[in-house]
Amino acid sequence: MISVRRATTLDVGAIHLQLSIAWDNTRAQSLYEAEGFEREREFVTYRLPLG
């Protein structure tokens, strides 16, 4: 599935894929890192619940 998405995004001219997962989802982290994804270390994401 990841290889298909990679090919699709290259076809439309994208320069990267970005994923967001739970910080404690180590299984997904291992999978994505094995596929060549790199952990973002420059940014922290914040969210403000409105309800």
Long-range (24+ apart) CB contacts under 8 A made by 27-34 are 32/2
- Report the sign of the C-alpha dihedral through residues 1, 33, 38, 49, in that order: positive
For the chain, give the percent of residues with pLDDT over 70.
Answer: 86
Q: What is the pLDDT of residue 22?
A: 92
Which residue type is seen at 24? D
In terms of Cα–Cα distance, which of 29, 36, 26, 39 is closest to 2? 36
Quick: pLDDT tens for 16-47: 888 889 989 999 999 999 988 999 888 888 88
Cα distance between residue 26 and residue 14, in whole Å: 27
